[in-house]
Structure 1
Amino acid sequence: MRAEMLAIGRTQAEVSGNSAVQGLEVWAAGLSEEGRYADAADAMTELVTAIRPHGPREGALAWSLLAWIAALNDAGRFDEALSAFEIIVEMEAAEAANDSGPMACHLYSLIGYSQMLDAHGRGEQAAHVRQDALTLLTELADTGERKTRSGYQASFWAVLLTMSGADSDRPAPDVPRPPSGFEVMRWSPDTTQRYFDSRHALREEVDALASQATEDPDRHLAELVRLHRVLTVRSAVYWQRTHLFVERVGTLFDDGVSLARRLSQHDPVEGPRTLARLLTDRSTFHTATGAFRPALDDFRQALSYLDEAN
Structure 2
Amino acid sequence: MRQTEPHQPENRGHMGDTGGIDQDAVMRARVMLLGSDRPSSREEIEAYRILAEVSPRVYLPKLAHALVKRGWELRDPEAHVALRAEAVDVVRRYDAEVPDREEQLLQALSGYEHALFAAHRRAEGRAVCEELAEAGRYGRLAVVLAEEGRHGEAADLLGRHVAPGDADVSEWSLIEWAAALDAAGRHEKALEVFARVVDEARRKAADDRSPLASLVWKLEQYARMLRAAGRPADEAAARREALGLLGRLARGGEPVSWSNIQASWVTLLVLSGRPGEPAATPGAPLPAFGVHPVHGWSPDVREEYVASIPELERQTDGLRESGDLPGLIAAQRRLTVRRALRWETSGRRAEESLRPSFDEGVDLARHPGAGPGALARALTDRSMFLLAVKRYEEAHADFAEAATFQPIVTRT
CA distance in 2, matches of 1:172, 1:68: 17
> In structure 2, do the counterparts of structure 1 residues 175 and 257 end up closer, same or farther at CA, with 3 Å as the change threshold?
same
Partner residue, 1:266: 369
Assess if the C-alpha contact under 8 Å between 2:133 and 2:139 holds in 1: no
Structure with the largest fraction of helix: 1
Equivalent residue in structure 2 for 1:107, among 216, 224, 230: 216
List per-residue Cα deviations over 1:249-299 (Å, max 9, x = no partner): 11000001101111xx225xxx10111011000000000111111100100
Partner residue, 2:247: 138
What SS does the aligned partner of 1:121 have?
A: coil
Unaligned 5+ residue runs, structure 1?
10-22, 214-219
Deviation at 1:34, TM superposition (A): 1.1
Q: Tell whether 2:130 aligns with 1:3.
A: yes
Deviation at 1:72, TM superposition (A): 0.4
Bigger Cα displacement from structure 2, 118-127 vs 32-41: 118-127
Q: Tell whether 2:332 aligns with 1:223.
A: no
Deviation at 1:145, TM superposition (A): 1.6
Partner residue, 1:91: 200
CA distance in 2, matches of 1:175, 1:67: 20
CA distance in 2, matches of 1:54, 1:255: 42
Assess if the C-alpha contact under 8 Å between 1:236 and 1:245 holds in 2: no
How many residue pairs get aligned? The number is: 280
CA distance in 2, matches of 1:194, 1:232: 16
Paired-residue identity, %: 36
CA distance in 1, matches of 2:191, 2:350: 31
What SS does the aligned partner of 2:276 have?
A: coil
Structure with higher RCO (Cα < 8 A, 6+ apart): 1
Partner residue, 2:342: 238
Deviation at 1:245, TM superposition (A): 4.3
CA distance in 2, matches of 1:244, 1:85: 28
List per-residue Cα deviations over 1:66-102 (Å, max 9, x = no partner): 1011000011111000111111111100011111112
TM-score, normalised on structure 1?
A: 0.86
CA distance in 1, matches of 2:213, 2:157: 29
1:211 partner amino acid: E
> In structure 2, do the counterparts of structure 1 residues 53 and 140 end up closer, same or farther at CA, with 3 Å as the change threshold?
same
Partner residue, 1:15: none
List per-residue Cα deviations over 1:195-220 (Å, max 9, x = no partner): 0000010001001110111xxxxxx2
Partner residue, 2:146: 32
Assess if the C-alpha contact under 8 Å between 2:147 and 2:280 holds in 1: no
What SS does the aligned partner of 1:139 have?
A: helix
Equivalent residue in structure 2 for 1:256, among 336, 347, 361: 361
List aligned pairs for 1:12-161, cutoff 5 A: 23-49=137-163, 52-55=165-168, 61-152=170-261, 154-161=262-269
Deviation at 1:170, TM superposition (A): 2.7
Deviation at 1:8, TM superposition (A): 2.0
Deviation at 1:171, TM superposition (A): 5.7
Equivalent residue in structure 2 for 1:196, among 278, 303, 306: 306
CA distance in 2, matches of 1:140, 1:266: 34
CA distance in 1, matches of 2:161, 2:353: 37
Q: Tell whether 2:279 aligns with 1:279.
A: no
CA distance in 2, matches of 1:179, 1:24: 15
Unaligned 5+ residue runs, structure 2?
1-127
Partner residue, 2:37: none
2:356 partner amino acid: T
CA distance in 2, matches of 1:118, 1:137: 20
Partner residue, 2:278: 170
List per-residue Cα deviations over 1:162-209 (Å, max 9, x = no partner): 111111223676411000110112111110110000001000100111
2:401 partner amino acid: Q
> In structure 2, do the counterparts of structure 1 residues 78 and 27 end up closer, same or farther at CA, with 3 Å as the change threshold?
same
1:117 partner amino acid: L
1:72 partner amino acid: L
CA distance in 2, matches of 1:29, 1:273: 32
